[in-house]
């Protein structure tokens, strides 16, 4: 008797994976992470970007130091959580793209501090599989790059970008463009380029300003750092201010 009834649309796997259901899949990649973040009261993150190809044993170009620096920096930031929560009412969480390399190092550092840590993974034909340091309840798998990017930026109170390739460059320039064009409603949003010698060698921002392709004040969008302690000193007050400002904006825009 039951077989006489057609399958319900929301149980139809073939339909849900079809071109026609793309909008539903996109909405799912917004709503499902949002549900999990709300259940765990996660509102503020510090995002680490960087190469998936860096590992602690690879010293061909002395890149292993960036792996260890990312782990130490994530550990120090996660260790500040008690103080940040006491001062602002909300903790921060370390968030990465969920894969190997710099992402693995940052998740490992946060886990070492005893904190929950987020991995926003994505389906790729190579390199990208969830690292073992992500908190299981905060391990996500995305299909759409743009939805993954939304969740990187939406809750971020700082972004730290370690040396990397095309994917890292894509993330760097997208975030910088959002700040430059004021599409990001976060004043004084900190973007740190970690590994100053690498970034100055690979991207000549000063030359872009000299040609007039960016304004001289656009060079203030980001901050160079090559030292974990200096980076913490730069980020800590800015993260706290952003969390406080976020709470004030929420009260102003959405009064009880």
Domain residue ranges of the chain, discontinuous segments joined by + = 25-253
Query: Distance between CA 98 and CA 106 in Å, rounded?
Result: 9
Residue 211, CB half-sphere, CA atoms under 13 Å: how many?
7
Phi and psi at residue 155, in whole multiples of 5°? Answer: -105, 0
Residues 133/167, Cβ–Cβ less than 8 Å: no
- State yes or no: pLDDT of 17 exceeds 50: yes
pLDDT class of 256 with cuts at 50, 70, 90: very low
pLDDT class of 153 with cuts at 50, 70, 90: very high
Which of the 8 DSSP states describes residue 131?
-
pLDDT of 127 reads 59
pLDDT of 60 reads 75
pLDDT class of 251 with cuts at 50, 70, 90: very low
The separation between CA 93 and the C-alpha centre of its own chain, rounded to angstroms, equals 10
Which has the higher per-residue pLDDT, 186 or 92?
A: 92
Map tokens 């969480």 to a residue.
Answer: 93
pLDDT of 128 reads 67
Residues 121/129, Cβ–Cβ less than 8 Å: yes
pLDDT of 57 reads 82
The separation between CA 89 and the C-alpha centre of its own chain, rounded to angstroms, equals 21
pLDDT class of 148 with cuts at 50, 70, 90: very high
pLDDT of 188 reads 86
Q: Which of 1-5, 109-113, 121-125, 162-166 has the lowest mean pLDDT?
A: 1-5
- State yes or no: pLDDT of 103 exceeds 70: yes
**Joined tokens for residue 73:** 């920096």
pLDDT of 248 reads 56
pLDDT of 255 reads 41
Map tokens 């909008």 to a residue.
Answer: 23
Indicate the pTM of the whole model: 0.91
Q: Which of 12-21, 143-152, 162-171, 213-222 has the lowest mean pLDDT?
A: 12-21
Q: Which of 28-32, 125-129, 213-217 has the lowest mean pLDDT?
A: 125-129
- State yes or no: pLDDT of 129 exceeds 90: no
pLDDT class of 252 with cuts at 50, 70, 90: very low
Q: Does domain 25-253 have CATH number 3.40.50.450?
A: yes
pLDDT of 253 reads 45
Q: What value does the mean pLDDT take over residues 220-241?
A: 97
């Amino acid at each position: 008797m039951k077989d006489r009834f057609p399958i319900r649309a929301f149980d139809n796997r073939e339909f849900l994976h079809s071109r026609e259901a793309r909008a539903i899949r996109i909405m799912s990649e917004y709503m499902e992470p949002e549900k999990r973040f709300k259940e765990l009261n996660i509102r503020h993150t510090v995002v680490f970007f960087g190469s998936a190809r860096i590992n602690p044993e690879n010293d061909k170009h002395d890149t292993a130091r960036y792996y260890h620096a990312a782990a130490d920096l994530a550990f120090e930031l996660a260790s500040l959580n008690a103080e940040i929560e006491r001062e602002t009412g909300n903790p921060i969480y370390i968030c990465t793209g969920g894969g190997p390399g710099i992402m693995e190092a940052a998740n490992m550092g946060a886990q070492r501090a005893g904190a929950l840590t987020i991995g926003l993974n994505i389906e790729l034909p190579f390199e990208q599989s969830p690292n073992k340091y992500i908190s299981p309840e905060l391990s996500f798998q995305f299909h759409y790059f743009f939805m993954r990017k939304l969740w990187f930026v939406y809750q971020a109170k700082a972004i730290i970008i370690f040396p990397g390739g095309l994917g890292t460059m894509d993330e760097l320039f997208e975030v910088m463009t959002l700040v430059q064009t004021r599409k990001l409603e976060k004043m004084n949003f900190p973007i740190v380029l970690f590994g100053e010698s690498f970034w100055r060698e690979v991207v000549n921002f000063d030359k872009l300003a000299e040609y007039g392709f960016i304004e001289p004040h656009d060079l203030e969008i980001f901050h160079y750092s090559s030292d974990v302690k200096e980076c913490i000193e730069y980020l800590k007050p800015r993260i706290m201010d952003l969390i406080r400002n976020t709470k004030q904006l929420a009260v102003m825009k959405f009064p009880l």
